[in-house]
Structures are given as structure tokens and as C-alpha cells.
Amino acid sequence: MIKLSWLYGMVLVFTSHMAWALEAPGRPGLPPHWASGQKMGIGTSYEAYDLDGKYSPLSRTAPISRVWFTLAEGVLTETYFPTVDMAQSQQTELLITDGKTFLEEEKNGTHTIEWLDPKAPIFRITTQDPQNRYTITKVFFTHPEKNIVYIQYQIQPHQANLTFYLCHSPHALNSGLDDSGEIRSQTWLAYEGNSFQALATSPPLSSSTVGFAGISDGLTSLRKNFSLSPPYYDTALKGHIRFVGALPSSDSIIAFTVALGFGFNAKETLDLTEKALQENLEKLKNQYIQEWHSYFTHVLDLSSVSQDEGKEFYASGVLLKTHEDKTYEGAIVASLSIPWGDSTEGNNLSFHLYSLSRGSGGYHLVWPRDLFHTARALMSIHDMETARNCLRFLKKIQYGNQEGTWNFSPRLIPKQGAFPQNTWVDGEPFWQGLQMDEVAFPIILAWHLWQAGEINLEEIWPMVESAATLIAAHGPWTAQERWEENYGISPSTVASEISALVCAADLALAKGEEEAAQFWMNTADHWSLTPGDNIESWTFTTSGLWGNGRYYLRLDGASRLSQLQQPDYFAIWNPNDTKKILLSNSSGIYLEKEIVDGGFLELVRYGVRSATNEFILDSLPELDEKIKVTTPFGPAWYRYLYDGYGEEGRGRLWTHLTAERAQYELALLLKRKANPKVIASTLDSYIQTLENFANEGHLFSEQVWDTGANIGKNTGSATPLIWTHAEYLKLLRSKADLVPFDLIPIVYQRYKDY
């Protein structure tokens, strides 16, 4: 029997791949969390479709690399493999100590980020220690053909006797709860189920340990003692684990490379990762950049109409493509982030966005609403291939006749024809809500692609027919409006429903389905035009609390005073009554006619109402009085009055709403026949505002601060928000054409006088 005093309470195990291995105590470790949601960079290799519009071995960029990385606080944060919705690690960073007086985490330094090429997501981050004890420079990119993330480090110590440690926190399969780790000859191997990751360095680390976070890991030891001393653990099984290893000591410049590789078994992943360090990295970087350049040779270059020499244009184009999965074409997630992932808010949200079978969803899920806007943005830059795949993905996830019924008693709504509220990239539904705008948008996208000659009517007709039938039978009411929180009737939702029915009617005529076409068009006209029973009579108050009392509500018919109260899904739509609404996120209870938002502008965006419609113009003063904030960068808006979704229980300013307002202002100026120079100047101011909202990595956050020293700068919400990047691209296209890009001509022609 082996007797060593420091082995008390620990376990020696024998495995087939190593001799006696020392297993770390303290399972499972402290509760895990994610990294900051405020990303400063997102990257993956560019992959082209094959001739059938698929990611396959026949692609000109094959083999396909299916790994993604994110950057926040100057360091590598969540990585994803083998799909864009499957997070595999939480954070990888350096730890710095003098062995006596301090321990510093790399992420706590001051960081600057550069795109090494404006058209490729290869980044250099320089981290400066606030006390000038060291400078760290890193370059991040992925192998263009293999599942490898590279980090090239160069460390410049500014004082003697500093020791640098590498720290890596796996979070395999969207969770940090059940990972196992082993050290094999200074290569780190982590796994859960059939998901494996390996981290190797060149030169090798001088010592390593793996343990349970907060209990027996190297970071905990360094925090206590400013040193990493024995015992060094070789294994940590089934918990929240963390690796730490020491870099070879030096008082001069330290250059080393990290390869983080992914696979489906231990041997494959170890071999892949260790061999990755032997490749010519300069050659790989050049291939990585050139393949991204090839994407921009096939799209419309709108950089000349930007205000920042195209930086945000190229970044936005890259981001839309980096958020697409490479197994399920057209599945583009909302954001490669977990909002507030490193905070209490993030932990609460992660629980809300958590599946017992598949882990945390974060924002790396597909929302049909976000996907619609993304697909339209891709169309705005002539990337029709990806836009077609977005529509085909939507077609694939549409509910069929075997999916059952939503029971909104006494409303019973069949799922057939609807779309999941959001899904994993393989199409499995995540949240289970019914949002009628998400039923409408696929029809509108189908119409646009058909009009552009990019898709065959026969392919899209079954999807269109099923969705339009559902809207006509059960709209204009929705179980959730576009903010995913309340039922009732909403101007923004009705705008999309009316537009979708008009588009469906046009497609039906082309298909020879005249009866369906007439029914859908009559329904759209009824909701739009019938006096006393249309969108204004349902949602426009004449006895409001603000301004002259005349404005559109956020929504009506959602009266409810408590979560315990039985919802009244058949509430009368009367915008002048005194019914109250319980707002989500513990925001409070208010009169329905008290809550304003900018959703009514969707009526103009798609062409259901003229920009000079009296009801639209009547609503603008109250909208701007109650939820507009003028930041140092320009105007921004809250989602709605009293919104509580954000830091400290308070919603902040949403970046994409600035782009939406710009589209309205364009429509208004065109209607009033303004001078083209005035129009261009107005749009330039909005474009510049959006560009200024982006962070140093040219990423748009979901929200920016509304007060204080950071007003107009990113909060800890989802960054990037692909929806905002999509709106930015569409705004550039609108300026280039001097026509609102989202305006649906057939809808506009029908209702332009209203």
C-alpha cells in the first residue's frame, strides 16, 4: 500500500492509458456559470456551400471546420462544437503572479481588439496590466479545415520573477455540471458523453493540475498561496472542473501557442490537437483570411454608404455568416452569447433558457423572427443562397398535422402551420409559445424570394398555405407579441399578419388557388380597413394618459393582475377601457393604455399604413416623450414603457429600434417628397448612431445604457445581437436605393392611401 501523508482524502486510480493517477477531491465543485455576454469578437472559418447549397465534402472549402470561438474581456470565452448551439467551454485565460504578493486574471486588464483583416474574423487583442507589470498580445483564429481554435500568445514581462499560468474551464454539452478531465503528458483532455476536447501548447506547460472549481483546482490554490504546488491532480471526474498549468519561466518575451481541439473520442481528439501545433500557422491564417475574402466577392458591397469606411458593414456580413450552423444550413442563431452569463441575472436567465436534456440554450437558438430579419439582410447584400437556406430551415421546422393543439382555454389553436417559438439548430423546439408574427414572417420571406426568382412556387406552397390558413383562422390575436411576454392584440403582430395574408394571396393566385387568394385578401382587408373592427379600433386609444391621449398601445386584451389569475384569452379589445396589464420581469401592473412602444411603426415598414397616416403621426409624440433617450451617439428607444428586462430589473435601450426608426423616417421623407440630399443626410445620422453603438470589436449589443457615464455603451446583454446587425445592413441598402428595403410592394400598393 502506498502511504503518503498528502494523499489523505484523495484517490489513486489506475487507468488503461496512464499509470497511477491522482484524482482530485471536492466533487462536484462550486456551481458553474458562463462567461460575460458582452462579446468583443466572434470567429469561425468560412465554409462555402456545394453545388446543392449544402455544407459537404464537395464544397470548395472542404473539409468543413465545425468549431466557433467567442471573445470577451480580452480572453477566449465560450467555444462551440460540432454545431453552433453546442457550447463546449466557458473560458481560457492566463493567470499572473509574482509568487508572493498578487494574483491577477488576464481578463481584468485593459484590452484593445483589432480585426487583422476587415473581412475575416481573425483578431489581435492586446492586454495591458493596469500596473504595467506585463503586456499580453494574442491572435485568435480557427483552423480552416479542422476543429481547432488557435491562440498565439506573446507575453512581455515588465518586471522580474513573474509566473504565468494557463487556465481552462470546460463546459461540455452546454453545461459545466458533469465534465471529466485528465492530464496526459501535459495535454489536457476533457469530456462528457461522446464530446471531447483537448488543449495542448507549444512549448509544453512545465506542470499541470486539474481539479474541481473552487475546491481543488489550481486557481483556488493560486488564490490562497500565489503558487501552484503539489499535489498536482491528474483526473477530476464528473463535476465542474478547471485545468491550470504553468508556462516555462522567463523574464524575457514568452511566445507560445495554444491549440484547443474537439472530437468524438479521446484518441482522435488528442491526435488532432497535438498535430495541430506542428502545422504552418502563417499558411493557415492566410488560407483562413482568403476563404473569408471569397465570401465578399459574391455579395453586394455597401461599404461606400457607411459612415465608418465599411468597418461595420464587413463586420456585420461576417457575423451573419458566423452565426449559421455548418450541419443544418440556414439555421442562424440569435447570438453566440448567454446574456449576463457571468452574473446573477445570467444565472437566472440561464436557468430559464435551460433544457434538462440539452443544457443551456442562451441566445444560441434559432428564433423564426430573428431568422426572418437575418434572411432579409442577406438578401439586401445579394446573398441569396443563404437566404434560401433560411427559408428551407423554416419550412423544415413548421408544425404539421400531428403536432397537437395549444390550449388557451377557451381558445384552442391547432399547431399545424405554426412555427416553434425558438429551436435548436436541428429543429427541436425549445420554448413552446405561439407568436403569430413568427407564423407570418416565413410567408413574407417566401414571397420575397419567389418575387426575386430565387425559389420555386411548388417548393414553398405547402408551407405558405398551412401558415396562412392558421393566421386567417386564429389571428389577429396572438399568444405572445414580438417581445415574447404577453397575449392579446399588438400593432406589430397585426402588421406582419396582414402583410403575410396579402403575400399569401398573391402566391395563391400564381398557384391557381383563387378561392384561397380571395379569402386571405378579404381577411387582410377586414383587419386593415373595416371601420370599428380593424387595427385602429383594437389598439389605438383616444383617452390615453400621455400627450393628447391619442396613440397606439403596445397591445390590448392582455388584462391580468397576477400570475395566479386565470388568463382571459377572450378579453374584449377596447383600447379606451381601464383594464390593467401585468408586465413581465416583475415590472409591475399598469393600465393597458399606459404602455406605449414603437411596434406600430411596423405598419409603415411593411406598407400596411402610410408614413403620413394620421394615427401614425398622432402616436409619434407620445412614443418619443415616454421611451426615447438622446444619447451622446444619437437617439435610442426602450422596448416599451416600464420594461424590466435588463440589469437591475430595468430594461435599457435596444439598438435595433434605432434602425427601425430610421426606416420610418426614410418612408416619411419620401412621402413628403423631401430633397434627396436631406434624405441622405438624415439616414447618415442614423447610420452613424448605430456605428457608434457598436463596441470596439464592431459588435452590436442587444441593449445599451440609458444613463450614467456609460450611456450609449453596451450593457451585459446579448452581444452581438444578430437582429441589430441585420437591421444595420438593411439600412445601408435602403440608403443606397433610397427606398425602405423592408417595404413589401404588393402590400404598399394596396394600402398606400391609408
Question: Is 18's pLDDT higher than 50?
Answer: no
Task: Exactly one of 182, 481, 485, 702 is catalytic; name it.
Answer: 481
pLDDT in tens, 537-589: 999 999 999 999 999 999 999 988 888 888 899 999 999 999 999 999 999 99
Euclidean distance between CA atoms 88 and 170, whole angstroms: 6
Euclidean distance between CA atoms 183 and 235, whole angstroms: 7
Mean pLDDT in the chain?
95
Helices 311-322 and 676-693, axial angle in degrees (round to 10): 60
Provide the pLDDT for residue 107. Answer: 97
- 735 in Cβ contact with 509 (< 8 Å): no
Residue (of 483, 475, 413, 419) closest to 445 by Cα position = 419
Give the amino acid at 274: E
Domain ranges of the chain: 45-99+119-272, 298-751
Question: Is 327's pLDDT higher than 90?
Answer: yes
> Which residue is associated with the grid cell 442587444?
702
Provide the pLDDT for residue 5. Answer: 29
> What's the N-to-C CA distance of the chain in angstroms?
90
> Do 45-99+119-272 and 298-751 agree at the fold level?
no
Question: Is 213's pLDDT higher than 80?
Answer: yes
Q: Strand ranges (DSSP E) for 624-695?
A: 628-631, 634-638, 653-654
Question: Is 50's pLDDT higher than 60?
Answer: yes
- 137 in Cβ contact with 126 (< 8 Å): yes
Euclidean distance between CA atoms 333 and 422, whole angstroms: 10
Residue (of 122, 142, 141, 127) closest to 95 by Cα position = 127
Tell me the backbone φ, ψ of residue 84, rounded to 5 degrees. -75, -5
Rounded (5°) CA angle 454-457-460: 90
Euclidean distance between CA atoms 497 and 323, whole angstroms: 27
For residues 207-213, average pLDDT: 97
> Which residue is associated with the grid cell 388557388?
513
CATH T-level fold of 45-99+119-272: Beta-galactosidase; Chain A, domain 5 (2.70.98)
pLDDT in tens, 654-693: 999 999 999 999 999 999 999 999 999 999 999 999 999 9
- Close Cβ partners of 726 (under 8 Å, ≥ 6 residues apart): 316, 320, 370, 373, 374, 376, 377
From residue 323, give the alpha-carbon distance in Å to each of 46, 318, 613: 11, 9, 38
Q: Which residues, listed in sequence order, are joined to residue 591 by a DSSP beta bridge?
A: 580
- 676 in Cβ contact with 738 (< 8 Å): yes
State the pLDDT confidence band at 357, using cuts at 50, 70 and 90: confident
Q: What percentage of the chain reaches a pLDDT higher than 70?
A: 96
For residues 467-472, average pLDDT: 98
- Close Cβ partners of 261 (under 8 Å, ≥ 6 residues apart): 146, 147, 148, 149, 197, 198, 199, 200, 269, 272, 273, 276
From residue 39, give the alpha-carbon distance in Å to each of 43, 117, 704, 719: 11, 18, 14, 5
Question: Is 16's pLDDT higher than 90?
Answer: no
**All cell numbers assigned to 133:** 507589470
pLDDT in tens, 601-612: 999 999 999 999
Provide the pLDDT for residue 250. Answer: 84
Task: Exactly one of 459, 484, 594, 647 is catalytic; name it.
Answer: 484
Euclidean distance between CA atoms 41 and 312, whole angstroms: 13
Q: Cα–chain-centroid distance for residue 595?
A: 27
Q: Which residues, listed in sequence order, are joined to residue 636 by a DSSP beta bridge?
A: 629
What letter would DSSP give residue 332? B
CATH T-level fold of 298-751: Glycosyltransferase (1.50.10)
- 360 in Cβ contact with 87 (< 8 Å): yes
More confident of the two residues 73 and 251? 73
Q: Cα–chain-centroid distance for residue 190?
A: 26
- 141 in Cβ contact with 150 (< 8 Å): yes
Residue (of 295, 349, 283, 297) closest to 319 by Cα position = 295
pLDDT in tens, 252-281: 999 999 999 999 999 999 999 999 999 999
> Which residue is associated with the grid cell 489550481?
218
**All cell numbers assigned to 13:** 486510480
C-alpha torsion angle, residues 68, 71, 75, 79 (rounded to 10): -30
Using CB atoms within 10 Å of the CB of residue 483, give its burial: 0 to 12 exposed, 13 to 18 middle, 19+ buried: buried
Tell me the backbone φ, ψ of residue 656, rounded to 5 degrees. -70, -20
Q: Does 484 qualify as catalytic in the annotation? A: yes
87-96, 295-304, 342-351: segment of lowest average pLDDT: 342-351
pLDDT in tens, 689-732: 999 999 999 999 999 999 999 999 999 999 999 999 999 999 99
